């Protein structure tokens, strides 16, 4: 997950596939998002599968409306792909292993950040030069300034050099991003053809060269539908700032879970969902025992790779079954290094870099006190897929080599290293939905369509996929569906 994005100042940013969008939320103004769910009719018994942000949001809103809710979570904690690393880091340092950035136009996320009193700070530092590493050449630029394209060994056309990164990005996607801002109908008819093209074909169709495609950082998309990429990029394009939660982003799912303490059953993976005329029964295992729970409605929030392992009776629609089996998930991995000294500061660098060898490098503790620091290598696409197949020791060695190429000196500074590969997580099967050519048209609306008493949520069912905002939006939508059903 993680295309590079050009903001209005021309500075490249990588935004997790994890993850970007306009300020339009299905044409609903923010004031409507703040309205509490009002129960329609008698209270319903609702079973929710999954305690990620989608399941937690649905549960919280339904409980607030007076419904009887039970959440079944396979793991021993809530949060899904929102995960913060603390132990065994020293000096109170922490770093994100999953969802990391909160654009200031993600109103579903910001609604609950504000409601739970969680303070935000900027994700990126305001001082230190940012680095861009392309074809073994590192170019540093002052905060807010683009790198000098002429220093890279890329064959830009004279027009592209004149446009700069920001201009090339606008030429590639500007018109499409404007269309994508209105998500009241999805996919939008004006962008239907983009679902039949790869990102590279779309960019070339806009008159840009292979060099521009490489400089814009679209390589991780590979066979991804251009419409899918446009949607992802549009989700943060109008944001003025990217933020994070003080103390770690897992404070958000923890705040939900704290208010749902007696509603969540942990260590309870669901194996079967069976519907009858009057309701729905979920079969799950806990402590080696098979158990069942019945409700009037069920909300299933598990990712497609996990959904494909759940038995449904009756079976899911053929199209939804195909989606669960065919939709590719973006590969993302994060390797965290605790270092005894923030050595990059000696050279006036921020510790943040965009690279063509892996993805991104973050100085994740730039706002945390102390001499020690953290560097995270954010592997995306093919580099993450390769790393996910390695042993932990091999992955650490590979990652050290990649960071050393950009910020020499890491090896002698390392005190601790570990990795998180979302491809290898049995309850995720990847980092985020990433539909290939033709799949948005085929599968997006089907992914969220209710089937009998079963409703569906999760970032993969939202046009805000890959972001916390998408998970929360989808959970809120499913809660309203159940409330009015």
Q: Cα(315)–Cα(298) distance, rounded to whole angstroms?
A: 15
Query: In which element (H, E) is residue 166 found?
Result: helix 158-180
Question: Does residue 333 sit in helix, strand or coil?
Answer: strand
Contact of 77 with 101, CB cutoff 8 Å? no
Residue 185 within any structural domain of the chain:
no
User: 108 vs 23, 31, 255, 324, CA distance in Å?
Assistant: 11, 11, 15, 26
- Does a structural domain hold residue 441? yes
Q: Is the pTM of this model over 0.85?
A: yes
- Is residue 289, in this structure, part of any structural domain at all? yes
How open is the CA angle 484-117-87, to the nearest 5 degrees?
105
For residue 198, the 8-state DSSP code is B
Domain membership of residue 217 (yes or no) is: no
Q: Note down the domain range covering 454.
A: 30-80+249-326+436-484
Does any domain span residue 90?
A: no
pLDDT in tens, the chain (485 residues): 333 433 333 333 333 222 222 222 222 334 446 478 999 789 999 999 999 999 999 999 999 999 999 999 999 999 999 999 999 999 999 999 999 999 999 999 999 999 999 999 999 999 999 999 999 999 999 988 999 999 999 999 999 999 999 999 999 999 999 999 899 899 999 999 999 999 999 999 999 999 999 999 998 899 999 999 999 999 988 899 999 999 999 999 999 999 999 999 999 999 999 999 999 999 999 999 999 999 999 999 999 999 999 999 999 999 999 999 999 899 999 999 999 999 999 999 999 999 998 789 999 999 999 999 999 999 999 999 999 999 999 999 999 999 999 999 999 999 999 999 999 999 999 999 999 999 999 999 999 999 999 999 999 999 999 999 999 999 999 999 999 99
Residue that the structure tokens 């009858």 belong to? 276
Other beta carbons within 10 angstroms of residue 287's beta carbon come to 7
d(CA 431, CA 380): 10
Flag whether 376 is in a domain. no
446: domain CATH number? 3.50.50.60
**CA–CA gap between residue 459 and residue 96 (Å, rounded):** 18
pLDDT of 358 reads 75
Q: Does any domain span residue 35?
A: yes
Q: Do the beta carbons of residue 3 and residue 233 sit within 8 Å?
A: yes
Judge whether 453 and 297 are in contact, CB under 8 Å.
yes
* Number of independent structural domains in the chain: 1
Asked, for residue 260, whether it belongs to a domain, the answer is yes
Tokens representing 33 are 């998002």
């Amino acid at each position: 997950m993680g295309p590079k994005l050009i903001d209005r100042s021309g500075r490249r940013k990588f935004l997790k596939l994890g993850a970007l969008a306009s300020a339009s939320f299905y044409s609903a103004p923010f004031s409507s998002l703040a309205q509490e769910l009002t129960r329609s009719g008698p209270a319903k018994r609702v079973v929710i599968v999954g305690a990620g942000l989608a399941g937690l949001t649905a549960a919280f809103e339904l409980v607030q409306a007076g419904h009887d809710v039970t959440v079944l979570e396979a793991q021993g904690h809530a949060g899904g792909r929102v995960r913060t690393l603390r132990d065994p880091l020293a000096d109170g340092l922490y770093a994100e292993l999953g969802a990391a950035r909160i654009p200031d136009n993600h109103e579903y996320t910001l609604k609950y950040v504000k409601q739970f009193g969680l303070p935000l700070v900027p994700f990126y530092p305001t001082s230190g030069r940012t680095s861009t590493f392309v074809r073994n050449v590192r170019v540093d630029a002052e905060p807010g300034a683009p790198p000098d394209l002429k220093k890279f060994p890329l064959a830009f056309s004279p027009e592209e050099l004149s446009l700069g990164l920001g201009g090339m990005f606008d030429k590639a996607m500007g018109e499409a991003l404007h269309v994508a801002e209105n998500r009241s109908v999805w996919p939008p008819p004006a962008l239907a053809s983009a679902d039949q093209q790869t990102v590279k074909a779309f960019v070339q169709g806009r008159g840009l060269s292979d060099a521009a495609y490489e400089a814009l950082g679209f390589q991780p998309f590979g066979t991804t539908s251009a419409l899918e990429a446009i949607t992802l990029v549009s989700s943060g394009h109008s944001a003025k700032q990217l933020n994070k939660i003080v103390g770690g982003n897992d404070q958000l799912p923890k705040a939900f879970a704290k208010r749902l303490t007696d509603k969540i059953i942990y260590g309870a993976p669901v194996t079967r969902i069976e519907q009858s005329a009057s309701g729905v029964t979920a079969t799950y295992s806990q402590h080696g025992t098979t158990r069942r729970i019945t409700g009037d409605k069920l909300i299933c929030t598990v990712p497609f790779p996990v959904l494909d392992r759940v038995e449904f009776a009756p079976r899911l629609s053929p199209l939804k079954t195909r989606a669960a089996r065919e939709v590719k998930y973006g590969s993302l991995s994060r390797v965290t290094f605790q270092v005894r000294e923030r050595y990059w500061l000696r050279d006036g660098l921020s510790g943040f870099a965009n690279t063509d060898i892996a993805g991104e490098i973050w100085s994740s503790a730039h706002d945390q006190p102390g001499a020690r620091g953290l560097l995270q290598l954010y592997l995306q696409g093919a580099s993450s897929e390769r790393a996910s197949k390695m042993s932990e020791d091999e992955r650490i060695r590979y990652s050290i080599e990649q960071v050393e190429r950009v910020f020499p000196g890491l090896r002698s500074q390392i005190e601790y290293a570990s990795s998180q590969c979302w491809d290898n997580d049995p309850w995720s099967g990847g980092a985020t939905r990433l539909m290939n050519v033709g799949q948005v048209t085929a599968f997006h609306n089907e992914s969220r369509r209710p089937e009998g008493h079963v409703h569906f949520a999760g970032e993969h069912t939202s046009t805000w996929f890959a972001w916390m905002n998408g998970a929360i939006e989808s959970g809120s939508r499913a809660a309203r569906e159940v409330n009015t059903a």
